[in-house]
Structure 1
Amino acid sequence: MAVHMFNADLHCHSSVSDGTLTPEQVAERARRNGVDLWALTDHDEVGGQARARAAAAANGMGYLTGTEISVTFINQTVHIVGLGFDADDLALVQGLAHTRGGRERRARDMAAGLERAGIGGAYEGALKFVGNPDLISRTHFARYLVEAGICNDTHEVFRRYLTEGKPGYVEHRWATLSDALSWITGAGGIAVIAHPGRYAFTPNEEFALFTEFKALGGQGVEVVTGSHTPAEYLEYAGMAQEFDLLASRGSDFHDPAESHTDLGTLPGLPGHLKPVWEALEHRIHQP
């Protein structure tokens, strides 16, 4: 099949992290939208991988194991997607568990900040939206504030309460870039920089990210993703070529109502790039 006709969606989330659909529901939605190859990439978690692999097979799709790891780089949170790894690898599983460990303390501090702003009960309210309590996040608080009528949608919540300088924002120190890449590559997978257009780096800082990522064994970058503009598709296609990186594609789907981009609906990769899934052909679980 020609590359540009191949519908791979290698970045999305389920209720195992901060999505609202189960892995099985995400798989079914992907199939309905024509996805040929799917990866579930829940945040700092591989607990949904067995279910996702079975659901992909039931829906006739190829499957790659996946996760999205939060790392701190130059005082910013950057996300690294891992694809095609052994989901039972002990160092990976233990590393992700350690990364998840700081989320509860952060969530309680976020709730305290919101309470000082006159919004009580936010921690308990957010928990109602959490499928996995270890992975409570800003998204869960945002859903509660919408339910409580404080904001009209989750985007308004982030803008008013959950970004830097706002009452409910609490910085969290994640894994290092070196940690994330060692876990992914040590488990036989390929590391991919997720949605690089989202980070507020200067050009020099972005160059430093790509340079260090490549030096640590990183092999891919998301070029076509739900949070990139068409201009950024071209920009990061250029970065993929400059750093000799494989190109990935993923919607970053979380929820039918919240997500800008549905599973499987993005344009294809520019034809001159090397798709990450070709390098992972031997790791694809066939239906």
Structure 2
Amino acid sequence: MNIIDLHVHSLVSDGSYSPRELAHHAKEVGLSAFALTDHDNIAGNGEAAAAAREQGLDFLNGMELTADFMGRKLHIVCLGFDADHPSFRQLYAEIRRVKEGKIPEIIDYVHAKGIDISLEKVRPFAYGEVLDRYAIMRYLVSLHLYDRAQPLWDHYLDPAVRELGLDQNMPV
């Protein structure tokens, strides 16, 4: 029997393992295939695909797309796309523009709440070149303000996203 997981997150967004570590973990738990579906990001797919090949696993490109539809936030799991296709590249560039465009404002919002934060302090927590809310989250976790991560999202990042209107401009 083949077991697959088509909804896996890495450190690129809100997961616990790097894309490479995910492939090793997938092998350890007996999966025959997996899809990396980080939130609005494909930065880890290449690393995960290469590590999956090394582990003898099948891999499927993925991403969990956040979209605003009729005033509701949707999470759409996208699978098996050609990340190099011009139409996908155009859509993905817009997704990243929206997601990365307000990072300075989010940092200012969190700073105004009394947290010692700056763009320079957050930058080392970016995964590769991706400076987004998850880099801010990783920085906040490093401050040990709470014993779990969810209150950080609830008290700082989610209100910032709502107040700055970040999810209202997402393409569907």
Q: What is the TM-score with the length of structure 1 in the denominator?
A: 0.52
2:39 counterpart residue number: 43
1:20-58 CA distance string (max 9 Å, x none): 533221111111111122111233333433332222122
Percent identity over the alignment is 32
2:152 counterpart residue number: 157
Moved over 6 A (4+): none
1:38–1:127 CA distance, 2 compared to 1 (3 A): same
Alignment partner of 2:130 out of 129, 134, 140: 134
Q: Of the two, which has the highest radius of gyration?
A: 1
Letter in 2 for 1:52: A
1:168, distance to aligned residue in structure 2 (A): 8.9
Secondary structure in 1 matching 2:30: coil
1:69, distance to aligned residue in structure 2 (A): 1.6
Alignment partner of 1:12 out of 8, 11, 34: 8
Cα root mean square deviation, aligned: 2.6
1:108 counterpart residue number: 104
Q: In the alignment, is the contact (CA less than 8 A) between 1:18 and 1:135 conserved in 2?
A: no
Q: Does 1:29 align with 2:21?
A: no
Q: Does 1:118 align with 2:132?
A: no
1:62–1:160 CA distance, 2 compared to 1 (3 A): same
Secondary structure in 2 matching 1:42: coil
Highest RCO, 1 vs 2 (Cα 8 Å, sep ≥ 6): 1
Secondary structure in 1 matching 2:164: coil
Alignment partner of 2:92 out of 84, 96, 107: 96
Secondary structure in 1 matching 2:7: coil
Gaps of 5+ in 2: none
1:167–1:7 CA distance, 2 compared to 1 (3 A): closer
1:10, distance to aligned residue in structure 2 (A): 1.0
Larger helix percent: 2
Gaps of 5+ in 1: 178-287
Q: CA separation in 2, counterparts of 1:167 and 1:50?
A: 29
